[in-house]
Amino acid sequence: MGVEVPSSYDVELDVPDLQNIVVSSVGPVGPVAVTGIPSAYSIAVTSLPQINIKAEPVEVVVRLTEIPSVRGHIPAHYRVGLSILGLELLAVSVCGETQVITEPYVPNPCERCGHPRSDRVVAGNAAAVLRLAEP
């Protein structure tokens, strides 16, 4: 659906004291300006309502009944050295593993050092036997 807008208009005015005025065409409309719209805006909070919050005291009770059985492994790397003016002269480095153990300690197979121990006789006393076996 289309509408055609005519490009020329004929307007006749009947004014008895004036001659007849005829408008046969309308020229291009010049630049249109919109004025009165502000270009800067500002917003301000001038007052705030008073807010009262009332809270009851909170009582927290924490009871530790049993420390959980944990065997935590923490990698460790310690380095102690001597340096002068940022130049390292001597350094000793130790690395390995640190453990945090809260369970009854029973060494793992990789934590046992040396040969398995057996019963040993204390020197000079055959009747006293000291049992030095690993747990």
- Please give the pLDDT value at position 129: 46
Specify whether the CB–CB gap between 20 and 10 falls below 8 A: no
Helix (H) or strand (E) holding 54: none
The pLDDT confidence band at residue 69, using thresholds 50, 70 and 90, is: confident
Q: Name the E strands within the chain.
A: 11-13, 21-23, 71-84, 87-101, 120-121, 129-130
Bridge partners, residue 78, by sequence:
94
Higher pLDDT, 23 or 130: 23
Specify whether the CB–CB gap between 21 and 35 falls below 8 A: no
User: Which pLDDT tens digit goes with each residue over 33-45?
Assistant: 777 888 888 888 8
Q: Count CB-CB contacts under 10 A for residue 57.
A: 4
Does this model's pTM top 0.75?
no
Q: Is 70 exceeded by the pLDDT of residue 124?
A: no
Higher pLDDT, 9 or 121: 9
Q: What mean pLDDT is predicted for residues 111-125?
A: 59
Specify whether the CB–CB gap between 91 and 81 falls below 8 A: yes
Q: From residue 43, give the alpha-carbon distance in Å to each of 40, 47, 48.
A: 10, 13, 14
**Residue type at 127?**
A
Q: What mean pLDDT is predicted for residues 96-108?
A: 84
Average pLDDT, the chain: 76
